[in-house]
Amino acid sequence: MEECDVIVVGAGVAGLAAASYLRGARRAVRVRVLEARGRLGGRLWTKRLWPDRPAVELGAEFIHDCKPARDIPDLNRGRGRPVKWGRGRWFFDGQVVLGGGPRVQQAREGAWDGWIGRYPKRAGSVGDVLKTWSRRARQIAAADVESEYAAAPADLSMNAVYDQWDRWEDGEGDDFHPKGTYEGLVKSLARRLHIVRDEPVDEVRWSRNSVEVVTASGGWHRARCAIITLPLGVLQAEKVRFIPPLSRRKRVAIRDLGVGKVVKVFVRVDSFAEGVGYALSDCAVPVWWPRHVGRNGVLVGWAAGHSADTLSDGVLIDVKCRAAQSVGAIFPRLLPVRFEDIHVVDWSGEEFTRGGYSYTPAGCDGDSLRVALAAPEGDMLLFAGEATDDVYFATVTGAARSGHRAAQEALRILA
Ligand SMILES: Cc1cc2nc3c(=O)[nH]c(=O)nc-3n(C[C@H](O)[C@H](O)[C@H](O)COP(=O)(O)OP(=O)(O)OC[C@H]3O[C@@H](n4cnc5c(N)ncnc54)[C@H](O)[C@@H]3O)c2cc1C
Q: What is the pLDDT of residues 251-264, one digit of tens each?
A: 999 999 999 999 99
What CATH number did the domain enclosing 288 receive?
Answer: 3.90.660.10
β strands within 124-283, DSSP E: 175-178, 195-196, 201-206, 211-215, 220-228, 241-243, 258-260, 262-268, 276-281
The count of residues in the chain is 415
Between CA 382 and CA 407 the distance in angstroms is 9
Ligand 1, pocket-test mutation among 357, 390, 391, 402, most atoms within 8 A of CB? 357
- My answer on whether 216 and 278 are in the same domain is no
Threshold 0.85, pTM exceeds: yes
Residue 413, helix vs strand vs coil: helix
For residue 147 and ligand 1, the question of a CB distance below 6 A is answered with: no
The domain total for the chain is 2
Q: Which domain holds residue 267?
A: 86-173+262-346
Can you tell me which atom of ligand 1 is nearest the CA of 384?
A: 26
Q: Which residue owns the Cα nearest ligand 1 atom 27?
A: 12
- My answer on whether 190 and 253 are in the same domain is yes
Closest CA to 372 of 248, 259, 265: 248
Q: Which residues contact 293 (CB under 8 A, 6 or more apart)?
A: 272, 273
What CATH number did the domain enclosing 190 receive?
Answer: 3.50.50.60
Q: Which residue owns the Cα nearest ligand 1 atom 6?
A: 60
Per DSSP bridges, beta strands 258-260 and 357-359 are antiparallel
Residue 271, in any domain of the structure:
yes
- My answer on whether 193 and 337 are in the same domain is no
Residue 356, in any domain of the structure:
no
- How far is the centre of ligand 1, averaged over its atoms, from the C-alpha of 175 (Å)? 19
Between CA 156 and CA 366 the distance in angstroms is 11
Residue 51, in any domain of the structure:
no
- How far is the centre of ligand 1, averaged over its atoms, from the C-alpha of 43 (Å)? 3
Q: What is the mean pLDDT of residues 99-123?
A: 75
Q: Which residue owns the Cα nearest ligand 1 atom 3?
A: 60
Contact 286, 94 (CB under 8 A): no
- My answer on whether 237 and 314 are in the same domain is no
- My answer on whether 195 and 248 are in the same domain is yes
Closest CA to 286 of 135, 102, 146: 146
In tens, the pLDDT along 114-123 reads 677 777 667 7
Question: Is the model more confident about 172 or about 94?
Answer: 94
Q: What is the Cβ-side half-sphere exposure of residue 103, based on CA atoms within 13 angstroms?
A: 15
Residue 76, in any domain of the structure:
no
What is the chain's Cα-based Rg? Answer: 22
- My answer on whether 11 and 127 are in the same domain is no
- My answer on whether 207 and 100 are in the same domain is no
- My answer on whether 165 and 227 are in the same domain is no
pLDDT at 265: 97
> Domain boundary residue among 298, 320, 346?
346
Can you tell me which atom of ligand 1 is nearest the CA of 347?
A: 53
- My answer on whether 169 and 267 are in the same domain is yes
- My answer on whether 377 and 238 are in the same domain is yes
Between CA 199 and CA 202 the distance in angstroms is 9
- My answer on whether 247 and 371 are in the same domain is yes
For residue 78 and ligand 1, the question of a CB distance below 6 A is answered with: no
In tens, the pLDDT along 380-409 reads 999 999 999 999 999 999 999 999 999 999
For residue 201 and ligand 1, the question of a CB distance below 6 A is answered with: yes
Q: Rounded to the nearest 5 degrees, what angle is found at the Cα of 10, between the Cα atoms of 315 and 404? A: 130
Q: Which residue owns the Cα nearest ligand 1 atom 49?
A: 42
Residue 269, in any domain of the structure:
yes
Residue 242, in any domain of the structure:
yes
pLDDT tier for residue 113 given thresholds of 50, 70 and 90: low
